[in-house]
């Protein structure tokens, strides 16, 4: 998440988002309900952000406990506040930690848009996640992927230094999961409208701030940053980058490190 200089009144981005990954909240609730059927008692969220998915899981499984790890303290603080508001403080621990230091096994692991906390390569990340999941347990894995491989002129407009290797095709994600000891149980690809809602929601509170503070000393720099981001989205990855939520089941037996 992009955080503004604390000496200004420019707000943090993302405050308008309910979820920090593209999906309709009602659709996520259906995924959560499906995962809750296995009654996981110990839940881990890798790269939890403000832990919205984790908190929804704990609310859906009475008695379950959860651990969320992230490196962004402001997001963890937001998650702790939400946990308190929902009466979940005694069942969740949100802590700042490097995901690569995690040990133990859990009945359910969540890793949504956070594979890079473990490895850039999806296969290596999925192997690491398998090591954190009990046999027969579940993984909710959210990942971006190429709908179609973008041409060079699109890559040039995306995030700085974007290459084809920054993402993969969806069949390759599923194949990597199988090789890492997972079976595919469910798959949800987000729609373009869900992507668009996420991209707009990510910066909406800053755009609204600009409407009320057009003459603020920081306004011009914020406008340029938001305009650049919109170009990277609409002229860059729009229509080329997808996002999928995979429910995976852990096979028994040893897994690759």
pLDDT, tens digit, for every residue of 98-126? 999 999 999 999 999 999 999 999 999 99
Question: Could you tell me whether strands 42-46 and 106-112 are parallel, antiparallel, or unpaired per DSSP bridges?
Answer: parallel
Mean pLDDT for all residues in the chain: 94
Residue with the two structure tokens 């309910």:
18
pLDDT at site 160: 85
Residue 28 has pLDDT above 80, yes or no: yes
CA-to-CA separations, 215 to 8, 212, 223, 228, in angstroms, rounded:
13, 9, 11, 20
Query: pLDDT tens digits for 42-79?
Result: 999 999 999 999 999 999 999 999 999 999 999 999 99
Query: pLDDT tens digits for 212-250?
Result: 999 999 999 999 999 999 999 999 999 999 999 999 999
25-149+156-191+242-250, CATH topology level? Rossmann fold (3.40.50)
Question: Could you tell me whether strands 241-250 and 92-96 are parallel, antiparallel, or unpaired per DSSP bridges?
Answer: unpaired
DSSP string covering 67-120 = EEEES-HHHHHHHHHHHHHTT-GGGEEEEE--GGG--S-EEEEEEES-GGGT-S
| DSSP structure class, residue 232 | I
pLDDT at site 8: 61
Residue 83 has pLDDT above 60, yes or no: yes
Six-digit token pair at 67? 């651990």
Q: Is 5 exposed, middle or buried (0-12, 13-18, 19+ CB in 10 A)?
A: exposed
């Amino acid at each position: 998440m992009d955080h503004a200089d604390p000496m200004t009144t420019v707000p943090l981005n993302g405050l308008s988002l309910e979820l920090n990954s593209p999906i309709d909240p009602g659709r996520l609730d259906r995924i959560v309900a499906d995962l809750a059927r296995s009654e996981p008692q110990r839940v881990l969220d890798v790269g939890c952000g403000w832990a919205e998915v984790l908190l929804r899981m704990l609310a859906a499984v009475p008695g379950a406990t959860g651990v969320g790890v992230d490196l962004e303290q402001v997001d963890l603080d937001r998650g702790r506040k939400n946990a308190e508001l929902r009466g979940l403080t005694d069942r969740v621990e949100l802590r700042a930690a490097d995901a690569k230091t995690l040990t133990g096994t859990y009945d359910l692991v969540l890793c949504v848009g956070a594979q890079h906390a473990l490895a850039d390569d999806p296969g290596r990340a999925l192997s690491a996640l398998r090591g954190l999941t009990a046999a027969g347990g579940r993984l909710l894995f959210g990942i971006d992927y190429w709908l179609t491989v973008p041409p060079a002129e699109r890559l040039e407009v995306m995030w700085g230094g974007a290459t084809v290797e920054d993402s993969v095709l969806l069949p390759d994600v599923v194949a990597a999961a199988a090789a890492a000891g997972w079976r595919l149980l469910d798959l949800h690809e987000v729609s373009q409208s869900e992507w668009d809602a996420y991209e707009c929601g990510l910066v909406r509170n800053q755009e609204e701030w600009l409407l009320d503070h057009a003459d603020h000393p920081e306004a011009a720099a914020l406008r340029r940053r938001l305009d650049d981001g919109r170009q990277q989205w609409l002229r860059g990855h729009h229509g080329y980058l997808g996002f999928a939520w995979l429910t995976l089941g852990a096979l028994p037996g040893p897994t690759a490190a």
